[in-house]
Amino acid sequence: MTRRVDGSGPVDGGPGRGVIGAAAGMALGFAGWFGGFGAFLVVAALGALGWFAGHLVDRGTGLREFLDSLVGRRP
């Protein structure tokens, strides 16, 4: 007998958003505990930049296309 789970995880078999969020939270917690508030802010900023870059890659948008859309230039 096989058990079917509907929509409770990613289709591609990679880690879900909950796992990624937990890992990011633990990284921020360790940075804050061992490095202080400054390290916490650096890790948070780098994590946000990493998320943004991954989001652009997932959407198939290049950095130049994104910046052009912010400025209002159309190709």
The predicted-structure confidence for 2-37, as pLDDT tens digits, reads as follows 555 555 555 666 777 777 778 888 898 888 899 999
Alpha-carbon distance of 27 to 32, in angstroms, equals 9
Nearest alpha carbon to residue 27 among 51, 57, 56, 11: 51
Alpha-carbon distance of 22 to 19, in angstroms, equals 5
Contact between 28 and 5 under an 8 Å Cβ cutoff? The reply is: no
Identify the pLDDT of residue 74.
Answer: 62
What share of the chain in percent tops pLDDT 70?
75
Identify the pLDDT of residue 10.
Answer: 58
Identify the pLDDT of residue 67.
Answer: 78
